[in-house]
């Protein structure tokens, strides 16, 4: 099939399957499951793959599934596409027909749209297996939202083996980009993310007798201020870094100084060597500042996802392919993003590209950011979600089999 005819066929199938993809997304949105609990979501995906007659493996990295769609000469090349499946512990406030039916759990990061789009890819590619050479591996990944991350667990279970794919491609919704557009960024894109837990220990007592106590609250306060020096005076000015604290727990009250204060926070950066140097500095500053006030500080650092870097040549190639599918006016360049993604693990093992699918529609009032109770997507974006991923996968297969640039 000629490239022009192939694009037309994918566009036709995207339109034909659009209502089905929307149904998938709405079912998943109504029935969200938290990280490491996606059993029913996995069963729903398995049933849909069964209906398409696709062979798949369950239980990869937890509740993950892996399916393969084989074209002509399936052993010539392999590309992998990834969608995550888990939801967040957020109570939905949207008044829509497909509102979450599970109080306190919500698809507030668009993973329902990712899974629905990849099911759409399965529907498209399974109908045109005679039109491409090679194999497309579909990765339905659990547990992106919580450490250690489903990507690392699926990789542990061999999702990138036998054989190693020439590339892994991931798509993620972006409420800052209008529906109908997509965004790419080559090279450094998303931050590492480490969880910090600081425990300040002193000697509690009556607040009117501070000289008899060792005040962990004051040790905590001065340490949090001092820790900002880690970023402002130790990080290279050209290296984005964020050190934030979001929770302080203390059992004291108006007239009671507690024995202990717990603080939770996050450290993020876009440079791995500096990341681990910053860990050392956080320990030194926290322990030293607390000690200067007679208290102790225990520093616990839970190392999270690494920095996400999009392979430059792959990303540039896929950006060109997206332009040929959507038109150059609908393909944007992305800024650095200090959020983190376990998709970064895939890029440590093979070429990887993580791009953004626009879902914003101001006229419809769909403007809420991810991880908020009113997050939603303009479902018109799903017309692009499945078709573009299918197109990108096949163009990567062309490159892998022929070593030629795509149009």
Which positions are annotated as active-site residues?
A: 86, 144
> Residue 366 has what DSSP assignment?
B
- Reported residue count of the chain is 407
Cα 300 from chain centre = 24
Among 119, 115, 86, 120, CA closest to 102:
86
CB-CB neighbours of 48 under 10 Å: 19
Q: Give the residue carrying structure tokens 């500095």.
A: 281
DSSP E strands, 27-134: 56-60, 64-70, 78-84
Burial, 393: exposed, middle or buried (Cβ in 10 Å; 0-12, 13-18, 19+)?
A: buried
Closest CA to 215 of 169, 250, 267, 175: 250
Closest CA to 362 of 182, 176, 183: 176
CA distance 373 to 360: 16
Residue 225 neighbours by CB under 8 Å, 6+ apart: none
How far apart, in whole angstroms, are the C-alpha atoms of residue 248 and residue 195?
14
H-helix or E-strand spanning residue 313: helix 312-326
- Distance (Å, rounded) from C-alpha 324 to C-alpha 244? 41
Q: Tell how strand 260-269 and strand 308-310 pair up.
A: unpaired
Residues with Cβ < 8 Å from 343, sequence gap 6 or more? 82, 144, 151, 168, 170, 172, 308, 352, 354
Cα–Cα nearest to 340, from 305, 295, 309 = 305
* Selection from 163, 167, 81, 84 nearest residue 124 by Cα: 81
CB 120 within 8 A of CB 20: yes
Per DSSP, helices labelled H in 96-160 are 111-125, 150-156
Within the chain, what is the greatest distance between any pair of CA atoms? 84
d(CA 43, CA 95): 27
């Amino acid at each position: 099939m000629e490239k022009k005819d192939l694009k037309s066929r994918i566009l036709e199938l995207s339109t034909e399957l659009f209502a089905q993809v929307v149904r998938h997304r709405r079912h998943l949105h109504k029935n969200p499951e938290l990280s490491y609990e996606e059993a029913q979501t996995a069963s729903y995906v398995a049933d849909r793959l069964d209906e398409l007659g696709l062979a798949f493996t369950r239980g990869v990295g937890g509740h993950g599934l892996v399916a393969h769609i084989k074209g002509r000469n399936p052993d010539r090349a392999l590309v992998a596409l990834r969608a995550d499946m888990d939801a967040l512990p957020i109570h939905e406030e949207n008044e829509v027909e497909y509102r979450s039916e599970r109080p306190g759990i919500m698809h507030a990061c668009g993973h329902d749209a990712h899974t629905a789009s990849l099911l759409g890819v399965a529907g498209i590619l399974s109908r045109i297996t005679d039109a491409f050479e090679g194999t497309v591996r579909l990765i339905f990944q659990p547990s992106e939202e919580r450490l250690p991350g489903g990507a690392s667990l699926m990789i542990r279970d061999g999702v990138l083996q036998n054989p190693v794919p020439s590339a892994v491609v991931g798509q993620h919704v972006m409420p800052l980009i209008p529906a109908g557009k997509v965004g790419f960024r080559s090279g450094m894109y998303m931050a590492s993310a480490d969880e910090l837990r600081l425990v300040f220990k002193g000697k509690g007592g009556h607040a009117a007798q501070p000289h008899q106590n060792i005040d962990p609250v004051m040790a905590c306060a001065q340490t949090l201020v001092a820790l900002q020096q880690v970023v402002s005076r130790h990080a290279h000015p050209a290296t984005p870094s964020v050190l934030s604290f979001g929770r302080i727990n203390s059992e004291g009250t108006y007239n009671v100084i507690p024995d202990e204060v717990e603080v939770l926070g996050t450290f993020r950066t876009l440079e791995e060597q500096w990341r681990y140097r910053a860990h050392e500095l956080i320990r030194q500053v926290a322990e030293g500042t607390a000690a200067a006030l007679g208290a102790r500080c225990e520093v616990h650092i839970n190392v999270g996802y690494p920095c996400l870097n999009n392979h430059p040549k792959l990303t540039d190639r896929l950006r060109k392919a997206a332009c040929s599918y959507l038109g150059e006016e609908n393909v944007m360049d992305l800024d650095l993003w200090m959020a983190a993604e376990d998709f970064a693990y895939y890029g440590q093992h093979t070429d990887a590209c993580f791009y953004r699918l626009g879902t914003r529609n101001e006229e419809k009032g769909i403007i809420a950011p991810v991880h908020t109770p009113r997050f939603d997507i303009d479902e018109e974006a799903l017309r692009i979600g499945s078709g573009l991923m299918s197109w990108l996968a096949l163009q990567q297969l062309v490159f892998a089999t022929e070593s030629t640039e795509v149009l």
